[in-house]
Amino acid sequence: QTGLRTKLLKAFSTADGEFLSGQKISETIGCSRTAVWKHIEELRKEGYELEAVRRLGYRIKKKPDKISSNEIHLGLKTKMMGRTIHFEETVTSTQKIAQSLANDGVQEGTIVVADQQTNGRGRMSRAWYSPSGTGIWMSMIIRPNIPVNTTPQLTLLTAVAIVQAIEELTPLKPDIKWPNDIMINGKKVVGILTELQAEADQVHSVIIGTGINVNQKTEDFPEDLQTIATSILIETGTSWERAQLIQTILLRFESLYSLFLSKGFKPIKLLWESYAISLNKILIARTLKGTVEGKAIGIDDDGALLIETCDKRIEKIYSADIEL
Ligand code: BT5
């Protein structure tokens, strides 16, 4: 049964919004037209909007915003990213699962996706709010052969991939706030958490966690987040398909990552700078060692933020919270 359903969804996905006749469908997936009709009814019950036009057949007008391995897999155009998908409805944190999968030696490009996290984490063990049915809570496992001190560059690379994907699918123009926030109209829509498994100077795996607010309404956020967080729905007024956004992010990430491995950080840095809002501004960086105030003059080749203080010293910041 699930086999037929998958074939049917695949046929619609290949048709790419064009009509498919009942006859064509029954031939492609190898079942009777009555069975086709039954499966179409099943899809409707799951929230698919299907248009039926006499003589033309059926087409999918709108898919439910449900994520599952299948939804992510169908139509995924990558070679490596997301070729293995671990999907679960509810987890504590996708980072935790990804860490243990990485220890087990899963292949590069494996992703962990959950519909909901009960203990989603930000940097320095802060909480990341990850309710069900609305966001993308995903961890990607990669195994680059790069020096440990260059891994922060991957956070910046991921931010570029996500901004490009949002720009490709929606009318929005997000900004990147160094190092790991993506902002729309001054509010945070995406957070990125990069964690490392390494020994001496050998990287075993890098686990890149991305939290993306997609379909939350303002009132869905707890009060303390309502003034600082936003979602793609809040900014555009309509809801978006999470699975499609994941596919687009994975494809963008894969191409930037391969550029990074062959040409280094330079081309990524240029792209990153074109989206950055924190550059050429006076800001305050709060680090674990103290506070640095000054003008952000750029990022250097390892991804660190360069701040020129009022006495003209250049401080290199590797990790901080930025106040603009
Ligand atoms: C981050 O930390 O921005 C990294 C967030 C990474 C989350 C992903 S989800 C998939 C994977 N699995 C995990 O467990 N984590 C990763 P940081 O820069 O420390 O920002 C955390 C701060 O953002 C919190 O202290 C809140 O102020 C705010 N915040 C929490 N939830 C938010 C949300 N859903 N949207 C916007 N801001 C939020």
Spell out the domain ranges in the chain. 2-62, 69-275, 282-323
Tell me the pLDDT tens digit for each residue of 54-65: 999 999 988 878
How close is the Cα of 187 to the center of ligand 1, in Å?
A: 13
pLDDT band, very low/low/confident/very high, at 2 (cuts 50, 70, 90) = low
CATH code reported for the domain at 2-62: 1.10.10.10
Q: Which letter, b or e, does each residue of 39-72 get, where b requires 16 or more Cβ atoms within 10 Å of its Cβ? A: bbeebeeeebeeeeeeeebbbbeebebebebbbb
Q: What is the pLDDT of residues 108-146, one digit of tens each?
A: 999 999 999 999 999 999 999 999 999 999 999 999 999
Coil, strand or helix: which one is 165?
A: helix
179 Cβ below 6 A of ligand 1: no
Pick the atom of ligand 1 nearest to 95's CA.
12
Q: How far is the centre of ligand 1, averaged over its atoms, from the C-alpha of 191 (Å)?
A: 5
* 98 CB-near residues (< 8 Å, 6+ apart): 110, 112, 139, 140, 141, 207, 209
ipTM of this complex prediction, to 2 decimal places: 0.99
Q: What is the largest CA-CA distance in the chain?
A: 79
Q: In percent, how much of the chain has pLDDT > 90?
A: 85
Question: How many Å lie between the centroid of ligand 1 and the Cα of residue 23?
Answer: 49
pLDDT for residue 193 is more than 90? yes
* Strand-strand pairing, 290-299 and 181-184: unpaired
**Cβ neighbour number for residue 320 with a 10 Å cutoff:** 22
- In CATH, what number does 69-275 get? 3.30.930.10
Q: Is the pLDDT of residue 259 over 80?
A: yes
2-62 and 282-323: identical CATH topology: no
- Digit-coded pLDDT (tens) for 64-115: 788 999 889 988 999 999 999 999 999 999 999 999 999 999 999 999 999 9
Ligand 1 atom nearest to 92, measured from its CA: 14
Ligand 1 touching residue 93 (CB < 6 A): yes
Q: Tell me the two tokens of residue 43.
A: 């899809």
What is the band of 4 on the pLDDT scale with cuts at 50, 70, 90? confident
Give the fold, CATH level 3, of 282-323: SH3 type barrels. (2.30.30)
The mean per-residue pLDDT over the stretch 225-253 comes to 96
For residues 193-212, average pLDDT: 95
